[in-house]
Amino acid sequence: MANKRTAKTADETAGNTTKKIITVTEQPGSFSLFTEFDISLFQSGRHFHLYNKLGAHIQTVNGVTGTYFAVWAPNAEKVSVIGNFNGWNRDDFPLIGRKDGSGIWEGFVASVSGGEYYKYFIRSVNGYEVEKGDPYAFHWETPPHTATVVWDLDYSWSDDNWLADRKSNHPLTRPISVYEMHIGSWRRKEEEEGRFLTYRELAGELPAYCDYMQFTHVEFMPVMEHPFYGSWGYQLTGYFAPSSRFGTPQDFMFLIDELHKAGIGVILDWVPSHFPTDEHGLGYFDGTHLYEHADPRQGFHPDWKSSIFNFGRNEVRAFLISNALYWLDKFHIDALRVDAVASMLYLDYSRNEGEWIPNIYGGRENLEAISFLQDFNNAVHQYYPDVFTVAEESTSWPGVTQSASNGGLGFDMKWMMGWMHDTLSYFQQDPVNRKYHQGQITFSLHYAFSERFTLPLSHDEVVYGKNSLINKMPGDSWKQFANLRLLYAYMYGHPGAKLLFMGADFAQRHEWQHDFSLDWSENNNPDHRGIQNILKDLNTLYKQEPAMYEYNFSWEGFEWIDSQDEVNSVLSWSRKGKEQKENLIFVANFTPVVRENYRIGTSVTGSYKEIFNSDNLRYGGSDLLNVERVETYPIPRHGRTHSFPIRLPALSVIILKHIE
């Protein structure tokens, strides 16, 4: 037989629609998107662009346009494509299993075009039969329906300037202020029965809002297709598809394009730790535990009732890393925030003794997950060196942001969960008692530069009875708003990137509820508008003042002036830039008592100007400002030769800068 491209055609009739199937024959050189090198990379776990091979791809074969299908199902006895184009008949369009041991089944169906619904019918070698969505599908039917959709990803991008700027200025050298949001509940069309905004409708509002508020990035809670809306996107079935609840893949691309044109970066939450057990998803895919571990002590998560990926299986690692690169490639995403990293790192995570299997050395570290995370980060940085990765890792695992070559996991940043817990605990104290808890608010600086940190005030802190941020604050309404202004100003003065969940940007009173829009009507209240104003100004200041970001991840950028004034519950510190003239002094008063003539020590003599005061009337404060410049005097204070007096308003932060 000649070694050339061959195909077998047959007329197939389904209802009123006639289709042709051109299946891959057993002859060498028959039609396939896979080369031998692709198969070798796939089997070794090193193929990181599988989205160009597996899944459904519109092609032209022998002059006939149709769709090439390929799916990994090594333990299947039969695989066929079923869809609306053949009446969901399980026998019409069988795929052919490759003979190279890859476990891939493939075939070409003529005249199947974009927009057609399909699934794979799989019969396993043990007789198990199931209909599965395509793990690599670019588009899914809108839940609760579960079919996948043949889709082309063609889109004409307009963000060349953004991408060029990203390449020449790595984000970690710049301010990073993230607006975390849930697409389904940011705003809704209340006049249309509270329906979701589409991606394109969001594109008409979100970029302008983020630009107005001066955020640098927006972080979307997982947009990948998920069957249960109440999971917030953390239980995924369609890893390669933005949720069709809000539109098409191109609609989502348009939203990203518009954000980039407004100067806003885009971060996606990504969930490589676990997946739901829905029958149409990844679980028990070919009649075996293909993507997950078979032993529930390794393959089932007791908290989330979900399956855990088998990070030791090469093809699974290739699936996940391909998925990460897919979003960076096809959707121009600027960063990935990896969810639930701690659950991946520990074999005994949320398990009692006897409910987990030790590693080969008898330890509880998940060596396969560690290796996977290192490979993931290496791949991202190899192909997209101007993209950053962030770990939500809630333990003290060492080296999360160290390079893999130095034994670390290779992330660029890590959420500073300890800062979040200690800070919120401290702020919930009655101010009278804060002097007994000052260690809570200063402890984070003992380890602030052990990793590169993001300070998160995220969605997790405003749900399930935890209360909104404003309602966590003690005291009457005035004190609550003053405390919240104080919290935000303290956060922006603390080293690290910043993250704030939607609703906290205007001090929404009630907890976040995913079934409803944020209560934007609260912005009609001056106190709530004041919170918006202070955040806008803090973001602006963050961008304007190099001392607030140039050494965000280094001791070079921070120095305590006084962390020991427990009696007055006052903290003072310096943030430093590359040039001394850029240095700033922060002073925070955590009590509702005005401090007149409060002295701050300094070694840099001359005049200082107040450039920010959280008690400003514009923010809803009492307007006790240091309007005039303040002069230093040779009065020693805080171990320094000189000092200057300031008026320190109640529950406030002020920022001062030296004047040449």
pLDDT band at 660 (very low <50, low <70, confident <90, very high): confident
Residues whose CB falls within 8 Å of the CB of residue 85, separated by 6 or more in sequence, listed in order? 14, 17, 19, 109, 111, 112, 116, 118
Q: What is the mean pLDDT of residues 388-413?
A: 97
Is residue 552's pLDDT more than 70?
A: yes
Residue 392 appears among annotated catalytic residues: yes
Amino acid letter for position 134: D
Half-sphere exposure at residue 175, Cβ-oriented, CA atoms within 13 angstroms: 22
Helices (H), 336-416: 341-345, 367-383
Q: How confident is the model at residue 428 (pLDDT cuts 50, 70, 90)?
A: very high
Angle of helix 249-261 versus helix 206-213 axis, rounded to 10: 30
The C-alpha atoms of residue 538 and residue 549 are separated, in whole angstroms, by 12
3-state secondary structure of 115: coil
| 3-class secondary-structure state, position 256 | helix
**75 φ, ψ to 5°?**
-105, 20
Average pLDDT along the chain: 94
What is the DSSP pairing of strand 570-575 with strand 584-589? antiparallel
Strand boundaries in 192-348, DSSP class E: 195-196, 217-220, 224-225, 238-242, 265-270, 274-275, 300-301, 306-308, 335-338
Four-way CATH pick for 8-149: 3.40.50.920, 2.60.40.10, 3.30.70.890, 3.30.360.10:
2.60.40.10
How high is the pLDDT of residue 30? 61
Tokens of 549: 């970001």
**Distance of CA 406 to CAs 371, 374, 380, 401, 657, Å?**
13, 11, 17, 10, 39
Confidence bin at 24 (pLDDT 50/70/90): very low
Strand partners, 10: 21
pLDDT (average), residues 56-77? 96
CA distances, 582 to each of 382, 556, 586 (Å): 34, 13, 13
Say which of 334, 392, 505, 522 is annotated catalytic.
392
555-659: CATH topology is Immunoglobulin-like (2.60.40)
At 82 the pLDDT is 98
Q: Judge whether residue 15 has pLDDT over 70.
A: no
Query: How is residue 478 written in tokens?
Result: 């005035």
Give yes or no for a contact between 380 and 320, defined as CB atoms under 8 angstroms apart.
no
Distance from C-alpha of 632 to C-alpha of 604, rounded to nearest angstrom: 8
Please give the pLDDT value at position 21. 52
Query: Token digits for 573?
Result: 């510190």
pLDDT tens digits, one per residue of 345-373 = 999 999 999 999 999 999 999 999 999 99
Token output for 210: 């983020």
180 is known as an active-site residue: no
Side chain identity, residue 368: E
For the chain, the straight-line distance linking the first and the last C-alpha, in angstroms and rounded, comes to: 86
What b/e sequence results for 469-505 when a residue is b if at least 16 CB atoms lie within 10 Å of its CB, and e otherwise? Answer: bbebbbeeeebbbbbbbbbbbbbbbbbbbbbbbbbbb
555-659 has the same fold as 8-149: yes
439: Cβ contacts below 8 Å, ≥ 6 apart: none
pLDDT score for 31: 84
Q: Among 199, 337, 186, 334, which Cα is nearest to 263's?
A: 334
Q: Dihedral of the CA atoms 444, 426, 506, 243 (nearest 10)? A: 60
Provide the pLDDT for residue 19.
53
Q: Which ranges of 331-427 would DSSP assign to H, the alpha helix? A: 341-345, 367-383, 417-427
pTM confidence score: 0.94
Catalytic residue among 180, 292, 339, 368: 339
Domain edges within the chain? 8-149, 174-529, 555-659
User: Taking phi first (over 0 means left), then psi (-120 to 50 degrees means alpha), and beta for anything else, what does residue 627 get?
Assistant: alpha
- In order, the DSSP letters of 320-337 are HHHHHHHHHHHS---EEE
pLDDT tens-digit map of 117-127: 999 999 999 99
- Using CA atoms, how far residue 370 sits from 42, 341, 359, 373, in Å, is 20, 10, 12, 5
Instruction: Say how far apart CA 520 and CA 444 lie, in whole Å.
Output: 34
The pLDDT of 371-386, averaged and rounded, is: 98
Which string of b and e fits 522-531 if b means at least 16 CB within 10 Å? bbeeebbbbb
Cα dihedral 267/268/273/278 (nearest 10): 170
* Contacts with 200 (C-beta within 8 Å, 6 or more apart), sequence order: 247, 251, 254, 255
**What DSSP character marks residue 292?**
B
28 pLDDT higher than 80: no
pLDDT over threshold 50, residue 54: yes
pLDDT, tens only, 271-280:
999 999 999 9
**What are the E-state strand segments in 42-182?**
55-61, 64-72, 76-83, 93-94, 96-97, 104-110, 117-124, 129-132, 139-140, 148-149, 177-181
> Among positive and negative, which fits the CA dihedral 539, 541, 545, 551?
negative
Gyration radius of the chain's alpha carbons: 28
pLDDT at 25 exceeding the cut of 60? no
Beta strands at 335-338 and 265-270: parallel, antiparallel or unpaired = parallel
Q: Is the pLDDT of residue 46 over 50?
A: yes
Give the whole-angstrom CA distance, residue 650 versus residue 543: 27
Average pLDDT over residues 6-27: 40
Distance of CA 166 to the CA centre of its chain: 18
Q: Strand 595-602 vs strand 55-61: parallel, antiparallel, or unpaired?
A: unpaired
Task: Measure the CA–CA gap between 354 and 379, rounded to whole angstroms.
Answer: 35
Tracing tokens 């299947």 back to the chain, one arrives at 76
Q: pLDDT band at residue 8, thresholds of 50, 70 and 90?
A: very low
User: Is the CATH number 3.20.20.80 carried by domain 174-529?
Assistant: yes
Nearest Cα residue to 547 out of 586, 573, 577, 580: 577
Per-residue model confidence as pLDDT tens digits over 492-534: 999 999 999 999 999 999 999 999 999 999 999 999 999 999 9
CA–chain centroid gap for 411, Å, is: 13
Residue 608 near residue 658 (C-beta atoms within 8 A) = yes
CB 590 within 8 A of CB 486: yes
